[in-house]
Amino acid sequence: MSAVLREARATLLPDMTGAQGPLPPLLLVLTVLTGLVDAFSFLVLGRVFVANMTGNVVFTGFALAGAQGFPLLASVLAFGSFVVGALAGGAVAHRAGEHRGRLLRRALLVETAFVAVAAVLVLVSHAPYTGFCRFTLIALLGLALGVQNAAVRALAVPDLTTTVLTRTLTGAVADSRLVKGPGGRAGRRGLSALSLLAGAFGGALAVRGGHPALPLLLALVILAGTSVAAFLLARGDAPWTAPVTGG
């Protein structure tokens, strides 16, 4: 247990001169954002994810089989928008060169722009969001999370993908010392899962008890704070801004 707590503490309060610098806590914050946005899309826009594409692929299969309540067009649109966003995020990553701080700053600016437009659209529209409004929101948020995922992939911080948890949780268990493995980094991986859970929980509460736009407004606050931190921390050529291959 002490090792798990040490790993969690090192993730939340990292060595700023280390290879990952401030990236672990920043990516945990973006994981919370993922939960918020997916809570909005699933609960408000109708059984569609804009961040977790595995769910959309499964939903597409359900829809093609004729299952009720799984909108085919919405899932396909979310998937396509995410792919385009990932393409844009990849372009940002390659243009940023090998400076991870520059990559993070630019990706956050693009993502913030998409989420901001979506939030404004929700605020000026009226629930329930249907037709063109609904599809536009799905597209905007899919683009935003595609950019985020491409950037996170390029940042290459182990166990902190901000979206996919299946392999993260599998690694925490399968590599644990309980099965004589090298250690499952349960502290960091557990924080990743809890961050997504917290975002989804908070997003669901916001949708049920407040205005439907609240999860997106909270996401904008997170993006603003993360962007400010990225701009302040990525000045110069700190060790963490260089590309790495391991954690």
Number of Cβ atoms within 10 Å of the Cβ of 68: 6
Q: pLDDT category, 247, cuts 50, 70, 90? A: very low
Does position 184 have pLDDT exceeding 70, yes or no?
Answer: no
In this predicted structure, the answer to whether residue 1 has a pLDDT above a threshold of 80 is no
Looking at residue 194, its pLDDT comes to 94
The total number of structural domains that make up the chain: 1
> What is the distance between the alpha carbons of residues 142 and 207, in angstroms, rounded to a whole number?
19
| 244 falls within a domain | no
Q: Reply yes or no on whether the pLDDT at 185 is more than 80.
A: no
Question: Is residue 133 a part of any domain in this protein?
Answer: yes
| Amino acid at the residue 108 | L
> Is residue 245 in some structural domain?
no
* Residue 181 confidence class, pLDDT cut points 50, 70, 90: low
Determine, yes or no, domain membership for 219: yes
CA-to-CA distance for 117 and 82, rounded, in angstroms? 16
- The whole-number pLDDT of residue 173 equals 78
**Does 137 reside within a domain?**
yes
Mean pLDDT in residue range 209-221:
93
Task: For 189-205, write each residue's pLDDT tens digit.
Answer: 899 999 999 999 999 99
Check residue 2 and give its pLDDT: 77
Burial 19-47 (b: 16+ CB within 10 A, else e): bbbbbbbbbbbbbbbbbbbbbbbbbbbbb
For residue 234, pLDDT over 90 is answered with: no
Asked, for residue 144, whether it belongs to a domain, the answer is yes
What pLDDT digit, counting tens, does each position of 23-82 carry? Answer: 999 999 999 999 999 999 999 999 999 999 999 999 999 999 999 989 999 999 999 999
The per-residue pLDDT for 210 is 81
Structural domain contains residue 71: yes
What's the mean pLDDT when you consider all of the chain?
91
Q: How many CB atoms lie within 10 A of CB 243?
A: 13
Q: Residue 110 sits in which domain range?
A: 2-9+23-233
Instruction: Report phi then psi at 222, rounded to 5.
Output: -60, -45
Residue 241 domain flag: no
* Residue 42 amino acid letter: F
Query: Is 0.85 surpassed by the pTM of this model?
Result: yes
- Are the C-beta atoms of residues 65 and 125 closer than 8 Å to each other? no
CATH number at residue 41: 1.20.1250
Q: pLDDT tens across 140-175, in order?
A: 999 999 999 999 999 999 889 998 777 777 777 777
pLDDT recorded at residue 244: 66
